[in-house]
């Protein structure tokens, strides 16, 4: 009986089949690795990103509202930058609050308290400020508006400002 396949041809076919099978498995693995895997981590990351974007938008809106409140209620006395009008400039106040407080939250709370009931003893400013400008009148705005304008004031800090300690 004649052999149809010689051992050499049979060995070559076996090696070719194994190589083809191995190649197909690598392609399937590579394809499955490229496909995105949905998992709880991805969903949590998406929720966290969405929350961060929402928080950033809310913070930006509050700053805009704070600036609008300043423009409407405070700008007539407080210039943004020197020279002073009839009250210390905002940039000087921001520098004073930044040097006194490490955290915005604490500074905002103190500013709100002062704006509601101004008193020399509650102020972070020096006595020359009160000799020059006097004491500001109490503001009868809602706490939410006072917090927004105080937050805006905190963010007006300019590290290059070299004004006097008495907000001149």
What does 71-129 look like in DSSP terms, one character per residue?
IIIITTT--SSSSPSSS--HHHHHHHHHHH-SSHHHHHHHHHHHHHS--GGG--S-HHH
Q: What angle do CA 124, 128, 109 make, to 5 degrees?
A: 15
154 near 107, Cβ under 8 Å? yes
Q: Give residue limits of the domains in the chain.
A: 1-31, 40-154
State the pTM of this model: 0.67
Tokens of 24: 């197909």
CATH number given to 40-154: 1.10.760.10
Taking the C-alpha atoms of residue 151 and residue 154, their distance in angstroms, rounded to an integer, is: 5
Digitized pLDDT (tens) for each residue of the chain, 168 residues in all: 555 555 655 455 446 555 554 555 555 555 545 555 555 555 666 777 888 899 899 889 988 999 999 999 999 999 999 999 999 999 999 999 999 998 999 999 999 999 999 999 999 998 899 999 999 999 999 999 999 999 999 999 999 988 755 555
């Amino acid at each position: 009986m004649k052999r149809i396949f010689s051992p050499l041809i049979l060995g070559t076919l076996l090696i070719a089949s194994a190589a083809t099978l191995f190649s197909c498995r690598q392609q399937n693995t590579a394809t499955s690795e490229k496909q995105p895997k949905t998992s709880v981590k991805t969903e949590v990351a998406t929720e966290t990103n969405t929350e961060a974007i929402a928080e950033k938008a809310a913070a930006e809106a509050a700053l805009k509202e704070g600036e609008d409140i300043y423009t409407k209620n405070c700008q007539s006395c407080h210039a943004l930058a020197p020279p002073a009008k009839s009250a210390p400039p905002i940039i000087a106040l921001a520098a004073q609050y930044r040097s006194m407080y490490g955290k915005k939250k604490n500074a905002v709370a103190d500013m709100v308290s002062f704006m509601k009931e101004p008193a020399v003893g509650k102020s972070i400013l020096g006595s020359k400020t009160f000799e020059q400008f006097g004491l500001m009148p109490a503001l009868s705005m809602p706490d939410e508006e006072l917090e927004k304008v105080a937050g805006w004031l905190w963010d007006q800090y300019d590290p290059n400002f070299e004004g006097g300690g008495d907000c001149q």
